[in-house]
Structure 1
Amino acid sequence: MLIALLAYAAVMLAVGLYHVRHVGSFREFVIAGGRQGSGLVTLSLLASMIGGSATLGLADLTLKLGFPAFWWLGVGSAGLLLQAWLLSARVRNMGACTLPDVAGIAVGPEARALAGLIIAVTWTGIVAAQFTALSQIFSVLTGLDDTRALLIAVSLVVVAYTAAGGQLSVLRTDALQFALVLGGVAAACAWLYAASGEGIGAWLAGVEPLNDRFGWSDLGSLFLLVGATYFIGPDIFSRNLSARDGATARRSTVIAAVVLFGFGLLVVALGQWAAAHGVNGGNVLVLLIRDHLPAPVALLLGLGLVSALVSSADTCLMSAASILEHDFLRRESVGRTRVFVLLIGGVSLCVALLKSDIIGLLLAAYSVYAPGVVVPLFVAVMAHGRRPLCRPLWLTGVAAGGLCGFASGVAGLPGLPLVGMGVSAVLAVAALAVPVRAAARS
């Protein structure tokens, strides 16, 4: 397995180095020139969304909640469909490079800077979550007691090929990585249920959308905090902006939503099999690889899980670095963006070496981003070209929502992000209600 991991890392690095010579401008580096077809955009979109939480985290969550754990990705699929319906083509046609750039076009430069700061910080936490998951899986895949050296090496490879080739490298490595993760999860699911003599009937018997451990209120909270990041997210928007036109962006998003739904069912099925056969102790998928799968399937699933983590990490690295350069500094230097990739990767790796809770890291990041950015930006994009916004009121909503999310993490108040989302929504809508002349003077 160690040899396979090293070979995998070498291939990823080679792809990144190959695309260095194709990067001729900032737009090439950040959104691959905005001319990609639906096939590549869809595969990259899926690979970017399926990371540590959608694999390792979701399987572990299934042991705690049962089938309703599926909604971790189910709300994501719903968010994508809403985005395809309302935003994908509209955002692609705005001619932006990043999500904060969209905010700048729709609202103004202050909105661009504020959204950029929130996203750059929170997406660093998401990269750290992927590196954390890599650390957990390496210990079982390699049999090594201390995998910190391997984690550092693979993380450096991810940072290196992302910095080298930018979005061109990320899009192409994502296609291979999604094929590996889907193949690994599907093969493991098929083998486990077939080898145990259980068919689809055994799985269907455990299907219950909600239960006493996860009810309607939990589903609503999950949709608002997690589903919202699929509806409006910088990594997902970067794929829309890479598409050749609005129709391609919308089509890719719809296909990705359907596939994500099915992928979630497969991962939950693995978690349910593990629960039914007494596999517990955390890191369910890793334990399945170690104790319950034949070597070929274990190798495929192992590489697939590594691919899932790497593909999410590289996309978030690109998003955070390009936002710092383009929206916070308001420059378009490819060289400095590469430096930001290296810096963000280094910070994320340090966080990963100190913290091991994947879902916790992600929820902490989402709790700042979702209340502060999602609803205000949705209002701004829908109003763009139709009705002016009162900028001070809109910016207050973004700041108040983000601060509520941050305070939630500091004070340990789980309901505060939802309060923040409500506050930001009210202020964003109120910004529309200001008379046109007053809004124009603002």
Structure 2
Amino acid sequence: MSVSFEVYLLAGAYLAWVFGKGILASRRIHNLEDYLLGGRSLGAGLLAATLAATLLGGGASMGIFGRAYVEGPFFLLATLGWYLALILTGLFLAAPIRNSGKATVGELVTERYGPALGLTLTGLSLAYSLGLLAAQLVALREVARILLPDFNPDWILATGTLVVLLYNWAGGFWAVVKTDQIQFFVLAGGFTCLAVLAGQQGWSAPSSQPLTSGARDLAWLFPAFFLGEFLAPAYFMRFAAARSWVQAVRGTVLAGAGLACFFFPIFFWLVLYARERLPGLEAGQALPTLVASFGSVWVSGIMLSALLAAVMSSADSILNAATLVVMHDFHLRKRFHPLRIARTVCLLLGVSAAGLAWLLPDIMQLLLLSYQVWAPSVTVLLAAALFRLVIPSGAAWVIFLAGLVSSLLTGWWGGGSERAIVIGVGASLLAAIPAVRFCRAPPKG
């Protein structure tokens, strides 16, 4: 699809403005705590915006939109699992996380279950973050392919990765949060405009596009999405960065409720429209092609550049969280020149994620594989730790291995990532009671 010069000009101006705002925010960085956690000073509104933008603005929204475009709009019902997870996390877990003083999953697990398991989950946190970051980079390439159709996709991926790395390297936490705030409001307004434009052109369901085809795997997908984003490192660090536990609770609940009530119905309508008016697209191209199809310079320019910047912002959020994991869990923050070390770690993680994106250029597959490793390993242990349930270290290892091994075996035997996630979490939960009883120390005397 051809893109006019005006769209390029508008997109370039918008991106320059957004990046300028982010770089200016880097002036608030005075030490490692500012670079990684923003001095733990996020209010509820800013927290809600950055959580929503991290989830909605990145590869997740493009991957879900593309798969719903291919399989049917009822597939979008599974995304309610994401929003419900945010709401429940805000109500029950955000306050304990903020009050714990911990900034990473590894720190919390180390305190409750011992350093060996803590270090193991640090490794899983990094693997999970790299998978999600790779998904954002693939999404970035798909959006850029619409703006730059004549360029080699691999060069687009490399250039996009370089921009993400330099932005995060320079601006850290505050640059990411400030651009998240901008992207959230631009995307909200932009998707509203798209829905209105689609409504003006009308829709009638064609017989060749069954509306319910995406509902067949909903029983597995909904819990998989609910569990897959559970206490992800990028969210965990934002709870830790809140000004207080009250701000953490309010911001998280607001993000989940806002996404469910506002973005879900808009996405549902736009998928219906795209399936009728733009048949035969690749999944990854469905959303950016829809944006470009309306022919409005303003809509196309702002939305395509907003999608591009939002994907970059989500990638930066995940990269920032992964850098935090390395610096805190490996105690590198106590070394000489910790800020320089953090920026070097940021570059290494970004290059690794770019390699993964090049090897596996499928947004949904990257997301689900990341969920498959993460959710079965940490869900039960983190919930128990935050609710202060006593689990011996040996029992914690049993729970961890039961979840991870059952998930990997289910996926290996062709059960699919969605089923593997749910079965893995179920196995870890079933293993918890006998493991705790068996590993409990006998009473003295």
TM-score range, shorter chain: 0.7 to 0.9
Pairs aligned (count):
426
Question: Contact (CA 8 Å) 1:131, 1:155: kept in 2 or not?
Answer: yes
Residue 111 of structure 2 is aligned to residue 111 of structure 1:
no
d(CA) in 2 for partners of 1:126 and 1:143? 25
Residue 197 of structure 2 is aligned to residue 191 of structure 1:
yes
Give ranges in structure 2 of 5+ residues lacking alignment: 1-6
Structure 1 equivalent of residue 4 of structure 2: none
Structure 1 residues 193 and 179, CA, compared in 2 at 3 Å: closer, same or farther?
A: same
Structure 2 equivalent of residue 308 of structure 1: 310
Question: Contact (CA 8 Å) 1:394, 1:427: kept in 2 or not?
Answer: no
d(CA) in 1 for partners of 2:434 and 2:330? 26
d(CA) in 1 for partners of 2:122 and 2:316? 18
d(CA) in 1 for partners of 2:32 and 2:196? 44
Structure 2 equivalent of residue 337 of structure 1: 342
The range that moved more, 394-403 or 361-370, is: 394-403
d(CA) in 1 for partners of 2:398 and 2:156? 44
The range that moved more, 288-297 or 119-128, is: 288-297
Structure 2 equivalent of residue 396 of structure 1: 398
What do residues 371-407 of structure 1 show as CA deviations (whole Å, max 9, x unaligned)? 111222112211x2xx432112212322342344445
What do residues 104-124 of structure 1 show as CA deviations (whole Å, max 9, x unaligned)? 333333332122110101210
1:64 to partner: Cα distance: 3.2
1:154 to partner: Cα distance: 2.9
Structure 1 residues 377 and 93, CA, compared in 2 at 3 Å: closer, same or farther?
A: same
Question: Contact (CA 8 Å) 1:390, 1:434: kept in 2 or not?
Answer: no
Question: Contact (CA 8 Å) 1:129, 1:362: kept in 2 or not?
Answer: yes
Structure 1 residues 144 and 154, CA, compared in 2 at 3 Å: closer, same or farther?
A: same
Question: Contact (CA 8 Å) 1:51, 1:130: kept in 2 or not?
Answer: no
Structure 1 equivalent of residue 3 of structure 2: none
1:108-257 to 2 correspondences below 5 Å: 108-194=114-200, 196-197=201-202, 211=212, 213-215=214-216, 218-257=217-256
Question: Contact (CA 8 Å) 2:161, 2:354: kept in 1 or not?
Answer: yes
Structure 2 equivalent of residue 68 of structure 1: 74
Structure 1 residues 413 and 439, CA, compared in 2 at 3 Å: closer, same or farther?
A: farther
d(CA) in 1 for partners of 2:226 and 2:244? 25
1:52 to partner: Cα distance: 4.0
d(CA) in 2 for partners of 1:429 and 1:266? 43
1:45 to partner: Cα distance: 0.8
The range that moved more, 344-353 or 147-156, is: 147-156
Q: TM-score, length-normalised on structure 1? A: 0.88
Question: Contact (CA 8 Å) 2:48, 2:254: kept in 1 or not?
Answer: yes
Q: TM-score, length-normalised on structure 2? A: 0.87
Residue 91 of structure 2 is aligned to residue 85 of structure 1:
yes
AA partner of residue 427 (structure 1): A
What do residues 302-339 of structure 1 show as CA deviations (whole Å, max 9, x unaligned)? 12221331121111111112112211456443322221
Q: Secondary structure at the match of 2:189?
A: helix
What do residues 267-308 of structure 1 show as CA deviations (whole Å, max 9, x unaligned)? 221111111335332222222233334221111221222133
Structure 1 residues 279 and 211, CA, compared in 2 at 3 Å: closer, same or farther?
A: closer
Find the partner of 1:419 among 408, 423, 429: 423
Structure 1 equivalent of residue 277 of structure 2: 277
Structure 1 residues 24 and 189, CA, compared in 2 at 3 Å: closer, same or farther?
A: same
d(CA) in 1 for partners of 2:191 and 2:143? 15
AA partner of residue 294 (structure 2): H
d(CA) in 2 for partners of 1:256 and 1:133? 22
1:430 to partner: Cα distance: 4.3
Percent sequence identity is: 26
Question: Contact (CA 8 Å) 1:50, 1:309: kept in 2 or not?
Answer: no
1:435 to partner: Cα distance: 7.6
Question: Contact (CA 8 Å) 1:126, 1:362: kept in 2 or not?
Answer: yes
Residue 131 of structure 2 is aligned to residue 101 of structure 1:
no
What do residues 135-182 of structure 1 show as CA deviations (whole Å, max 9, x unaligned)? 112111233242433432232122112122221211111101212222
What do residues 91-112 of structure 1 show as CA deviations (whole Å, max 9, x unaligned)? 1111111222222333333332
Give ranges in structure 1 of 5+ residues lacking alignment: none
